Structure 1
Amino acid sequence: MSTAFDPRVREVAEPRTVRLFDMVDDLAPRLDMGAGPLGRRVFFGATGGRFEGPRLRGEVLPSGGDWALFRSDGSMALDVRLTLRTHDGELLHMTYNGRLITPPGARADVADLARRHLVDPARYYFRTNPLFETGSTRYAWLNDIVCVATGYLVEGGVAYRVSQLL
């Protein structure tokens, strides 16, 4: 990489990740709020689910959800807020934004609620950036990390592989 454009630019390490957990988020039927000035707003309520990884595991509580925006270009902007309860009873607030980009050739398959979970995740781009907040001393380390996640559609909801950026 050339730094000739600005001498303050330096070589730094590329981001690395480590798996934090896998999560399945079960969703209620969508609530379509209609088309607005930014696109079609749809709410997907969380009804439960599970998460598990090397350092923590537990359940997705039936609260929160995704205030998704379907844009005119066919993409979906995510705005998610969830409450997680760890196996030992601690509460975690998880938020993330992201994008679900479905190419035109896959849109009909992804829109089919009965079969969408059968669509190969390689046919769409589904990425998020989870952050956490907790008052738990045991899990306070989550307050100071940034994550990335790859999402995919599953029967009854969505799933994610959440990785911590190192």
Structure 2
Amino acid sequence: MTPTLETKYVFTITARIGEVISAGDTGAGVRRVIPVIGGEVKGEGISARILPSGADFQIIRPNELIELEAKYAFETDDGAVVYVENIGIRFGPVELLQKLKRGEPVDPKLIYFRTRPRFETGHPNYQWLMQHLFVGSAARHADRVVIDVHQVL
């Protein structure tokens, strides 16, 4: 018998984002780059600021399924730098996704937005981030993305 999968909440990432850069329709969908310009990470035993160090690289498929690949870093209050690579998808009713694209508010419960964050750091206090799997439940707002990160036990 295999162990039961369980998760526990560990922290929230609030990533402030810049203006959308679009490379247009590439044939596979619309390629977008959204700069990560700051933000914070808060949870039990972790407090950090997101460095203006990366972006979310997206492809919007013809059916409005959005594939996301965000890469950035944060620095903890005790000086550790942690690299983040966060892969995910966002999907929902077309009219609501179009509202999000225009920066209009949409109830996050109406949009499926899930991610798989992966972390890298050489700091000994945060090695646990590389020794576990994590999943995220996210919400997109006009100026930020909020991700509740859960550790898979």
State whether TM-score is above 0.5: yes
2:64 equivalent to 1:74: yes
1:12 paired residue number:
2
Cα contact 2:40–2:50 (8 A) shared by 1: yes
2:122 paired residue number:
135
Cα RMSD, aligned residues only: 1.3
Q: Distance in 1 between matches of 2:112 and 2:150?
A: 16
Matching residue's letter, 1:148: V
1:3 paired residue number:
none
Within a 5 Å distance, the mapping from 1:113-128 to structure 2 comes to 113=103, 115=104, 118-128=105-115
Of Structure 1 and Structure 2, the greater strand share is in 2
Within a 5 Å distance, the mapping from 1:3-152 to structure 2 comes to 11-113=1-103, 115=104, 118-152=105-139
Cα contact 2:86–2:118 (8 A) shared by 1: yes
CA 1:57 to 1:35, structure 2 compared with 1: closer, same or farther past 3 Å? same
Q: Distance in 2 between matches of 1:35 and 1:108?
A: 16
Q: Distance in 1 between matches of 2:71 and 2:45?
A: 21
2:152 paired residue number:
165
When normalised by structure 1's length, the TM-score is: 0.87
Cα contact 2:47–2:76 (8 A) shared by 1: yes
1:34-84 deviation digits (Å, cap 9, x = unpaired): 111321110000000011011211111001110111111111000111101
Q: What's the CA shift for 1:29?
A: 0.2
Q: What's the CA shift for 1:107?
A: 2.8
1:8 paired residue number:
none
Unaligned residue ranges in structure 1 (runs of 5+)? 1-10
When normalised by structure 2's length, the TM-score is: 0.94
Percent identity over the alignment?
Answer: 26
Unaligned residue ranges in structure 2 (runs of 5+)? none
How many pairs are equivalent? 153
Q: Distance in 2 between matches of 1:108 and 1:98?
A: 18
Q: Distance in 2 between matches of 1:146 and 1:33?
A: 32
